[in-house]
Amino acid sequence: MIQLIAQTFVNGINVGALYGLAAVGLSLTFGVMKILNVGHGEFLMVGGYLAFWMLRLFGVDPFLGLPLIVAALFLLGIISYRLFFATLASFPEEVKVKNSLLVGFGLFLVFPQIARLLWTGDERAITPFYSGGSFPFLGVRIATVPLAGLAVTVILILALHLFLKRTYFGKAVRGTSENWKAAKLMGINVNRTYMITFGIGTAIAGVAGILVGLTQSISPDVGMEWTLKALIVVVLAGIGSVGGAFFAGLILGVLEAVGAIFMGPYTVALGLVIFLVILMFRPQGLFGKA
């Protein structure tokens, strides 16, 4: 019994860390730029497919190729920002959020179709030679790949946290998120800050995509599912909180793992119901301040 509980927790944390990672990028762009990109999951999907290609075509290990994918997704993010979101930057906040949601919705329509042309509609998994390995630890089976993924996630989130808190550019990002007009008057290049922030968000989504491909599977339509998960986590955590998003992700992962025992196929709806309830009664999130 205790073993079952412990195993459920371990599984939940593995999945939850992924939820957190998928949500961090969304939370960052929403918090800093007031851009709600519902196409966020599509970048995750692209990252997963790129890692799949790297392993299948060139035999590059997904963990070793991670920096390459980060670079590629960062570039993709910057291009997407310039093409689709830059024109919204100067709109008043409410209009900006609404239009960015619609543009993101457009990306969500376009990306799966491109992916279907490039990679067909099949579900793909990234399977290096060591995938599927696991070891026992205190009576619980720990799978190696998710453990490595958890390590990558924690490192990445810590790095992002330090980047935002300790560097000069991080200060610019935080300043811009609080008041972009004041930031501009202080000599911060708001446009460049926005662009790079968006790039960082998509790069993190790409890493999440690699881990999703390693531990689950990637298909052209996987984006929507992950966008919804990320949205649930962002709303749980309160908008714009990086650390909060990670912990909220863990909570959702464990909740779903426990829920799966009792609710079976309805578990997916569990997170969505929590989302609606929080939206109704505590729109600032569980960890956010009123």
Partner 1 sequence: MTVNQRIWINAIIIVLLMTVPLLIKRTDLITWFTYTLLYISLAQSWNLIGGYTGQQNLGHAAFFGIGALCTRFLWLYGLPLPLALVTGAVAATIFAVIIGFPAFRLKGVYFIIGTLVLAEILKIIFFTVLPHASVLPSKILNTYSLTPRYYLSLLMAVITVAVVYWISRSRLGLGLMSIREDEDAAEAAGVNTLRYKLTAFLISTFFAGMAGGVYAYFAAAALPGEMFSAVWTFDAVIIVFVGGVGTILGPIIGSVFFVLLQQLLSLYLPAGSHVLVFGILFIVVVLYLPGGLIGLMTRLRQLSPQKESDQIAA
189, two tokens: 């290049």
Which of 214, 229 has the CB closer to partner 1?
229
x/- map, 98-137, partner 1, by CB under 8 A: xx-xxx-xxx-xx-xxx-xx--------------------
- Residues 172, 160: Cα–Cα separation, whole Å: 14
**Shortest spacing between CB 223 and partner 1, in angstroms:** 12
Q: Establish if 187 lies at the interface with partner 1 (CB under 8 A).
A: no
- Residues 15, 262: Cα–Cα separation, whole Å: 18
Q: What's the sign of the alpha-carbon dihedral 171, 80, 115, 240?
A: positive
**Shortest spacing between CB 66 and partner 1, in angstroms:** 29
Q: Which residue in the block uniquely carries the two structure tokens 């714009």?
A: 240
Q: Which stretch binds partner 1 (CB under 8 A): 1-9, 138-146, 164-172, 269-277?
A: 269-277
Q: Which stretch binds partner 1 (CB under 8 A): 132-140, 162-170, 193-201, 260-268?
A: 260-268
Q: Establish if 261 lies at the interface with partner 1 (CB under 8 A).
A: no
137, two tokens: 């630890």
207, two tokens: 């890493």
**Shortest spacing between CB 68 and partner 1, in angstroms:** 27
- Judged by the rule CB under 8 A, the positions of this chain that interact with partner 1 are 36, 38, 84, 87-88, 94, 97-99, 101-103, 105-107, 109-110, 112-114, 116-117, 224, 228, 231, 264-266, 268-269, 272-273, 275-276, 279-280, 283
